[in-house]
Structure 1
């Protein structure tokens, strides 16, 4: 947020210089990013009051005006502005003045006219206005004083950044409250303006989305002259807050927004039919923008409508039909209070983030809405005229707008800060911050209620944080932390993980590190059945949910690299993932995961190597190698498993007994298009905490007798998994068969439709003696009989005959 220092000092003016003021803001958590000094290049300009206007018989280009420049001194000056009237306060430049543009002053000099100066245009002093006119000063300006001092043309622009929870820090009023406490000054308040009601027009307001729109106030202002010039001082303040000037109505709305942080709606009242409705949008509903473009509104967005059409989106996107323009005469002005955790997340979809949506995202102080509406009404009627109606309010009284009480214990305060603060100091600071306090005699705690503008304060630690922002973190005693804890000399899980990371690097993978915060929309595409774990104060919409898998970050990295013409992509990442689990502390379970992703070529381009794309079996082979390196491959089983984000026929789960410890799969083709992936992409994921905990230590005596090797080839249905066949043979002949290797898979018309031929190599061993041919033959016959009974397998040799 940017604002003028002089504007800020109109609200609160501590007796400190600019550097000290900025230091105070930074200590309060409102980090000052930069301070820009602005000095007007014009000098020796004075405030003058028009006394009399005279005709100039020598030229029709300008008038001769008699002005008072203070101390009863009157001079004659030239003016290009023909609407000068008696009593008007203007800027006077004399022979000694230095202007941004001396064009008109030089013209007067060349004509040798009997005048001693000019009345300044905007261009004369370097002010960019939306109309070329004389700058008319407020009547409160003292005649004869220096214009730079009167209009604060010598100023500083302060730019601050605040944490996402501080919605009140997006207004001058909110920042001034904190500075007032630090300097022991009275807390600033918005002045109450009472506007006389002389317009008896009415319109009905209905709220059909009370779960999102908690309250809405509005009023009608008729006979408004929108073509009036915006006062110079308002334009300058907005310009110093990086807001481009517009028509006077928009400028006033922006002015109120920066000062008090309350967004206001301005709608052309002549475009409204009968009543105003705040509701959720319907499917396929549109709004007319840019006169010839219909914007499709996302379903369930908050909209402001009449009986026929959408007037505006809740995020301050106006329809061309309802937008205020220079021909508008009757206005409807309203202000709303929304549930900031709900609907305004949708406005990132439209790419319309602005000053208004930023405040809605963080939350609006509901208690100041009527006062802000009255304040804006006062400014509009003062400068544009108009007749004002009563305020029409619509409030959902079922919603409680008061903050809850929080217990602040003395013991907890000491444990966190390590210092003792007197009861008087605690109460004094909290009351100045706007808290309500109840302290019962003999109690060990204060019962405190946060102010309406600090709805981010929900727990005891929040209150302590607020207290110490004012007390000063530099006053907290510094001493080394002492505690007793046991640090293991060597964590086997970490050692194994580091070993696997080196293995993956040797296999051509690159390690990446991504944030634990992910895009909830992308996570919902991959895991629609897993509930989202959303953050209360996210950095952005794209980082508002805790990840349940490392795939989200890996997929983003692959898409990024594919857009930069990378053809061979292999990445892996290890990190914590988070799940809701009521059995865990705070209801959240975090586990270490290891995930990888493959896409594009499997090998670098080479004349002696076949160029092919990575497939499911490449990823499965890498996972099997990892498990084999850990000595745990024989402990797990691979089973077919359907994941919404993966290809239904190319996804498997890894199980240890009945517990799933990992997944492998190809990204679903439909999802590939949604993610803009340009190649087949395969992912795998291991729940590392579960994998590392598997007990794989096993000592066996090595047989002194030679092994025997035999091959068999069988035909089975296409639907039968190879893993099930191998597992059945291992369970049935574990004493004799020490290894089973699949070395050939064949499909063809001579095999049969829906059939496949599998060739296995069986490694036989007896630890007590050498197998005879008769014993080997019996084992093979039993194997074939088992396969025939369990899987309806047919021996390939007999078919060939």
Structure 2
């Protein structure tokens, strides 16, 4: 919103200091884009009245214009064609004038005719750059006078941004109200209820099919106007400084009053209205002929229209028909100032993405007491500028259908608790009264009725926000938050999910979200011994049961991609699964699971390297990375275990702190065949509630003592799992173990048949001292002793 500071100053005194004014708007929560003081850089620009016009050159569109500048002096001005007429008053620069950038006017000669000056545009005078329209002045100005006598350049242009829910501030009056509350100053008294001389007895019948459609509807007929008269300079300058383009005197007056008071008055050419006016909801298929002669078909229902006896003349407050456009020949007007049903209007706005002045001024907050005053104000300006004869106001309003003011109970105790700072009760009451609220006051609770123009005040919190805003955020002291530094379990859970998702995405995985209901055939193949929960009214056979796990959805996503020649897939999902629960009154057991899938090749094929398929250990490494975010590496174990949906011998259960938390493995060959997968598919599943750490943060002490590495090579039976060997070593070494891993497996002539040689690296470190060699040897020997007793494993020489 852009407007003149002098205009606002008519309602309430504002600071001449731009920085202070900027601060005041900011304290009100209004974003200030700029405050620019106006200045002029010209002198001796005078008013000239066009006396005679003749053409000098059709080719160059040059005209000789004789201009009267007072004292019986006439000047010859050679000018290009524009919409000038005899009697028009314009701004003239002569040889005595000084233009911006210290430019001077020189006399020019064309076809032996001397041009004594130029007609000035707003751009030439530096008033508004890139506005090349000639400065046209109203008839009341005196020829020969300096135009500075009529232009108020001691002004500032204020550019602000208004929040969407504060349309009551999109007017000069609304902004004055805000500033008045800030300083507890009353708005200056102004009388807009100017007495109108009624000298026109014409009446237009108006009917409303249902009063809730338009609780307020005022109309007025004005006849015999002269629309070609020019509005006063002070009015045109305020509109121009508000970035509003001047159209004609009637439209300019309406725009002025709308911006001043936040209410829009619509205007029709009375000569195009047949009979009377009726306001109703549309019928499907009706049409309105728009200003550009195009037909707009009303294909929706519940559209509010205004019609005469033969045609639709308006989509209520939004779109006029071509029959209601004002032109230079317009003589008779019908003014409309109405409050239409906001719900119906807003639905049409949303569906058709329409923006008009009506939306800006009428779609939200409205001061219902101003409708009569505003239509009188528009009438007053029209009669004084354009002449004419005004009729009485035609009022068909039914105020009982207006939106009701609701009571908000405001507790003093809650205000202090909400703010964390005690505000004096008298300040609270005074602020609410200045806002315009009606109060029912007692010692504990205030019953607050917000004003009609503040329909954004709906809750107790809204009122508290207003009190803080006018009290001043800067006056509320900074008080340190007192509370526990330990994050809640909910916070820890959310943070853990985010960390895991970030890790998986960083490693090239994509998160997917699948339906909670899946194909019964596929789920039965995955879990043949468990019956899923059937849906009574599935929208398809492929989505007929609730999922027992996330695998069915992930496999369906993989199949969808493979069918589109995308076989290298790495995806994960975090979601709720459902299974029958027969032991309690509840029939459904919900589990929160994190599952993932890996398929295709690990590397793309290059000229010096063949493509490599993904395998079990690629996904196992991902699981270890996830769990290592929250747990010490030594607490994570994998144990061989068979599942109905995983490949026998290529599957494992996952334990943390000896608690089962999930599984991992290659998809079962029968399922791969059913889904027509020709490349390895590896799955994992983690039970969230069991793997969730007590804290989202894992703190590890760092030892200052050296790490010791010992490598052992063992002769092991082929049927013994390496993880079993590692788990025994972990158990023996305990807290001294930093890391342990397999780094070599060997088969050869020196190795007996049915055996293998495995080499394991063991890293040990103490937090209290440097480990001696004999201490390390004792630990390694203990590991070898337990391995020999458990699996008959021997140390290779």
Report the TM-score range of the alignment, normalised by the length of the smaller protein.
0.5 to 0.7
Name the CA distance, whole Å, in 2 between partners of 1:184 and 1:472: 13
Name the CA distance, whole Å, in 2 between partners of 1:260 and 1:661: 63
Name the CA distance, whole Å, in 1 between partners of 2:331 and 2:556: 61
* Equivalence for 1:106: 106
Alignment check: 8 A CA contact 1:639 1:655 kept: no
Alignment check: 8 A CA contact 2:313 2:321 kept: yes
* Equivalence for 1:187: 187
* Equivalence for 1:196: 197
Between structure 1 and structure 2, the one with the greater Rg is 2
Name the CA distance, whole Å, in 1 between partners of 2:289 and 2:212: 27
- Kindly provide the CA deviation profile for residues 564-601 of structure 1, in whole angstroms up to 9, marking residues without a partner as x: xxxxxxxx4xxxxxxxxxxxxxxxxxxxxxx359xxxx
What is the CA-CA distance between 1:332 and the residue it aligns to? 1.0
Paired residue secondary structure (2:591): coil
Superposition map of 1:601-640 within 5 A? 637=532, 639=534
Alignment check: 8 A CA contact 1:206 1:278 kept: yes
Superposition map of 1:112-511 within 5 A? 125=125, 134-136=136-138, 147-148=147-148, 150-153=150-153, 155-188=155-188, 191-297=192-298, 298-401=300-403, 403-440=405-442, 443-483=443-483, 487-488=487-488, 494=494, 497=497, 501=501, 505=505, 510=510
Name the CA distance, whole Å, in 2 between partners of 1:649 and 1:271: 62
Name the CA distance, whole Å, in 2 between partners of 1:268 and 1:665: 68
What is the CA-CA distance between 1:482 and the residue it aligns to? 2.2
What is the CA-CA distance between 1:108 and the residue it aligns to? 8.2
Paired residue secondary structure (2:339): strand
Q: Cα gap change, 1:255/1:666 in structure 2, threshold over 3 Å: closer, same or farther?
A: farther
Q: Cα gap change, 1:244/1:694 in structure 2, threshold over 3 Å: closer, same or farther?
A: same
Paired residue secondary structure (2:70): strand
Alignment check: 8 A CA contact 2:304 2:316 kept: yes
Alignment check: 8 A CA contact 1:315 1:347 kept: no
Name the CA distance, whole Å, in 1 between partners of 2:446 and 2:173: 27
* Equivalence for 1:31: 31
Alignment check: 8 A CA contact 1:215 1:395 kept: yes
Paired residue secondary structure (1:362): coil
- Kindly provide the CA deviation profile for residues 301-340 of structure 1, in whole angstroms up to 9, marking residues without a partner as x: 2211122211011242111122222222211111221343
What is the CA-CA distance between 1:166 and the residue it aligns to? 1.0
Alignment check: 8 A CA contact 1:640 1:652 kept: yes
Q: Cα gap change, 1:252/1:180 in structure 2, threshold over 3 Å: closer, same or farther?
A: same
- Kindly provide the CA deviation profile for residues 384-419 of structure 1, in whole angstroms up to 9, marking residues without a partner as x: 111111111222343255523333322222222233
Name the CA distance, whole Å, in 2 between partners of 1:269 and 1:305: 13
Alignment check: 8 A CA contact 1:268 1:323 kept: yes
Alignment check: 8 A CA contact 2:273 2:308 kept: yes
What is the CA-CA distance between 1:235 and the residue it aligns to? 3.0
Name the CA distance, whole Å, in 1 between partners of 2:590 and 2:365: 46
Alignment check: 8 A CA contact 2:574 2:592 kept: no
What is the CA-CA distance between 1:362 and the residue it aligns to? 2.6
Q: Cα gap change, 1:696/1:283 in structure 2, threshold over 3 Å: closer, same or farther?
A: closer
Paired residue secondary structure (2:355): coil
Name the CA distance, whole Å, in 2 between partners of 1:402 and 1:143: 58
What is the CA-CA distance between 1:159 and the residue it aligns to? 2.0
Name the CA distance, whole Å, in 1 between partners of 2:119 and 2:593: 92
Alignment check: 8 A CA contact 2:345 2:363 kept: no
What is the CA-CA distance between 1:261 and the residue it aligns to? 0.9
Superposition map of 1:553-702 within 5 A? 572=512, 595-596=513-514, 637=532, 639=534, 648=540, 650-654=542-546, 688=576, 693-694=590-591
Name the CA distance, whole Å, in 2 between partners of 1:704 and 1:489: 32
What is the CA-CA distance between 1:288 and the residue it aligns to? 0.8
Name the CA distance, whole Å, in 2 between partners of 1:327 and 1:684: 71
Paired residue secondary structure (1:334): strand
User: Structure 1 residues 293-302 or 101-110, which shifts more?
Assistant: 101-110
What is the CA-CA distance between 1:143 and the residue it aligns to? 11
Alignment check: 8 A CA contact 2:137 2:230 kept: no
Q: Cα gap change, 1:63/1:359 in structure 2, threshold over 3 Å: closer, same or farther?
A: closer
Paired residue secondary structure (1:347): helix
Paired residue secondary structure (1:157): strand
Q: CA RMSD in A?
A: 5.3
* Equivalence for 1:551: none
- Kindly provide the CA deviation profile for residues 685-706 of structure 1, in whole angstroms up to 9, marking residues without a partner as x: 9864979952899xxxx99999
User: Structure 1 residues 208-217 or 106-115, which shifts more?
Assistant: 106-115
User: Structure 1 residues 394-403 or 214-223, which shifts more?
Assistant: 394-403
Name the CA distance, whole Å, in 1 between partners of 2:193 and 2:4: 23
Name the CA distance, whole Å, in 2 between partners of 1:662 and 1:195: 78
Paired residue secondary structure (2:309): coil
Name the CA distance, whole Å, in 2 between partners of 1:202 and 1:684: 73
Q: Cα gap change, 1:110/1:596 in structure 2, threshold over 3 Å: closer, same or farther?
A: same
Alignment check: 8 A CA contact 1:221 1:332 kept: yes
Paired residue secondary structure (1:375): helix
What is the CA-CA distance between 1:262 and the residue it aligns to? 0.7
What is the CA-CA distance between 1:292 and the residue it aligns to? 3.4
* Equivalence for 1:678: none
Query: Could you tell me the TM-score, scaled by structure 1's length?
Result: 0.59
What is the CA-CA distance between 1:172 and the residue it aligns to? 1.2
Kindly tell me the number of residue pairs found equivalent between the two proteins. 571
Q: Cα gap change, 1:143/1:743 in structure 2, threshold over 3 Å: closer, same or farther?
A: closer
What is the CA-CA distance between 1:202 and the residue it aligns to? 1.0
Name the CA distance, whole Å, in 2 between partners of 1:221 and 1:653: 71
Alignment check: 8 A CA contact 1:265 1:333 kept: yes
Paired residue secondary structure (1:332): strand
Name the CA distance, whole Å, in 2 between partners of 1:419 and 1:491: 28
User: Structure 1 residues 407-416 or 375-384, which shifts more?
Assistant: 407-416
What is the CA-CA distance between 1:479 and the residue it aligns to? 0.6
What is the CA-CA distance between 1:272 and the residue it aligns to? 1.5
Alignment check: 8 A CA contact 1:32 1:159 kept: yes
Name the CA distance, whole Å, in 1 between partners of 2:495 and 2:31: 41
Name the CA distance, whole Å, in 2 between partners of 1:666 and 1:703: 27
Q: Cα gap change, 1:5/1:112 in structure 2, threshold over 3 Å: closer, same or farther?
A: farther
Query: Could you tell me the TM-score, scaled by structure 2's length?
Result: 0.60
Q: Cα gap change, 1:703/1:259 in structure 2, threshold over 3 Å: closer, same or farther?
A: closer
What is the CA-CA distance between 1:475 and the residue it aligns to? 1.0
Q: Cα gap change, 1:344/1:387 in structure 2, threshold over 3 Å: closer, same or farther?
A: same
What is the CA-CA distance between 1:507 and the residue it aligns to? 10
What is the CA-CA distance between 1:121 and the residue it aligns to? 7.2
* Equivalence for 2:605: none
Paired residue secondary structure (1:416): helix
Name the CA distance, whole Å, in 2 between partners of 1:468 and 1:22: 19
